[in-house]
Structure 1
């Protein structure tokens, strides 16, 4: 890909291309892996609008997952440039977006000699912090966080989130909850009017293993819908979280008052937490299809 221009947006896209081989963002969609033989072509004009034209040698269009990586990277370029400051404590979220985020943070630290401390939300985040040579800490030593950054599975019009598709919802919520500012980076597919419009895998609920059956019954009896125990792909049995718990995925059948639902589910014995992040995100940056970045802030009453 030929990319012209300078600035954080252009740099972010260039850096994304460099790490395609390091991350598996070209993973399955439509139950198909990308072919390894790829010849990406495209251009980026001086206004910073990314025109993604990536084609396979056989002529098929590049899979949408690659395009969304570029869009998330554009968001990171816009977000990080003014907001990283010296002596900050950062909360590092989990998921594919965070791979780019940690790389960007590490480069800013090196270029500007910044003193930053990073609090992970998962084993993945911890390994990324160590891999890129950032300062790893925890809530025992740094109970107050200046800024937390994470992705989301879906964002509604009120900036309520569904998170936990990667199974890290409890630690993600803890870190976000103790942060002065919580910022979300996502691509345009995650932007919805109502929760459930785009994300159809349900709301994750982390539960104590011995209670997953009664919790499942309690949730569906009270709120309807269908609930499933999340099963592992590369091991026999269910997914086990970093906390040693199970995850239930609740596929709701109607729009609810999510604040009330979140509170009610958390009161069920055996529930650790839910993937509903209510009134937590201050801003969400969406990477749009044309390469631009759309920012939405928490609505004020």
Structure 2
């Protein structure tokens, strides 16, 4: 659900970023006017279910898209053809000391490069990634999209790297503020949309974890919650939130905003996501694949 384009775009100007979000639903107001105690219990239960769903979505994203990988003549072996091709490879001298255990060891030795996003839902994905690295002895390296993502990687004992050493990533996992029916995204709530888009663009597959919630905003320079002035990105730019009253061709909007002098990047991720995992309010996980991938 919530698969409609939002009304808010985010872009990074030497001060900018744009967002699309749709208005808060009428249901929220109705709940606020209901019986206080029963509504509190109901809302608390729904929040718990939704939080568990986000955790399940994060775990599913990691389990389905972060795997031991292998390339070259060993790749078919990884795909379940060990018994049929092991003897042939040994005879050809491609794999002298062939054994199934050594094959798995070589597969694990092959680095899997993962882009780690900055959304709140990504915390669960990193928890699961760290758990699998410990249990399966996977050799995973992680590229962060922000200072917060970097700290999250280090706190979980994962190996930190960067795009200079790993310019091509196997997968990037991140959150989103809004997602439409074609899996176009609005990102930038954390203020690091430029680096998020760079990392997503370097990945073979861009996987998104999202929840059911949304809100709205208008086109103004975003001010920090602590009233310390405008929000400044990791690239030392300002964030601008721009409200749209109706749906548009977001690809054209993205191009038009980026043509404004001084704009560094927008929070519109058009046609980049391959799959989105939605943590729903009822505790379920909804999966939607992009029609373009």
Q: TM-score, normalised by structure 1?
A: 0.67
Q: Deviations over 1:260-292 (max 9, x none)?
A: 110111111100101100010001111223322
Distance 1:241 1:66, change over 3 A: farther
The higher radius of gyration belongs to: 2
Structure 1 unaligned regions, length at least 5? 1-29, 31-54, 190-197, 202-225
Distance 1:64 1:245, change over 3 A: farther
Please tell me whether the aligned partners of residues 271 and 292 of structure 2 are also in contact (alpha carbons under 8 angstroms): no
- The corresponding residue for 1:109 is 133
Q: CA deviation at 1:294?
A: 1.5
Distance 1:121 1:63, change over 3 A: farther
Alpha-carbon distance between aligned partners in 1 of 2:45 and 2:223, rounded to the nearest angstrom: 26
Q: CA deviation at 1:92?
A: 0.2
Please tell me whether the aligned partners of residues 47 and 281 of structure 2 are also in contact (alpha carbons under 8 angstroms): no
Q: CA deviation at 1:113?
A: 0.1
Distance 1:133 1:65, change over 3 A: same
Q: Which has the higher contact order (CA 8 A, sep 6+)?
A: 2
Which is richer in strand? 1
Q: CA deviation at 1:71?
A: 1.0
Alpha-carbon distance between aligned partners in 2 of 1:174 and 1:300, rounded to the nearest angstrom: 19
- The corresponding residue for 1:134 is 158
Q: 1:200 aligns with which of 198, 206, 216?
A: 216
Alpha-carbon distance between aligned partners in 1 of 2:238 and 2:281, rounded to the nearest angstrom: 36
- The corresponding residue for 1:262 is 254
Q: How does 1:99-248 map to 2 (within 5 A)?
A: 99-189=123-213, 198-201=214-217, 227-248=219-240
Alpha-carbon distance between aligned partners in 2 of 1:65 and 1:250, rounded to the nearest angstrom: 29
Please tell me whether the aligned partners of residues 91 and 175 of structure 1 are also in contact (alpha carbons under 8 angstroms): yes
Distance 1:295 1:259, change over 3 A: same
Q: Deviations over 1:157-205 (max 9, x none)?
A: 111101001111111111001111000011233xxxxxxxx4422xxxx
Structure 2 unaligned regions, length at least 5? 1-27, 29-36, 69-110
Q: Deviations over 1:32-82 (max 9, x none)?
A: xxxxxxxxxxxxxxxxxxxxxxx99x9674175443321111112333224
Alpha-carbon distance between aligned partners in 2 of 1:199 and 1:278, rounded to the nearest angstrom: 20
Aligned length: 215
Q: 1:275 aligns with which of 253, 267, 270?
A: 267
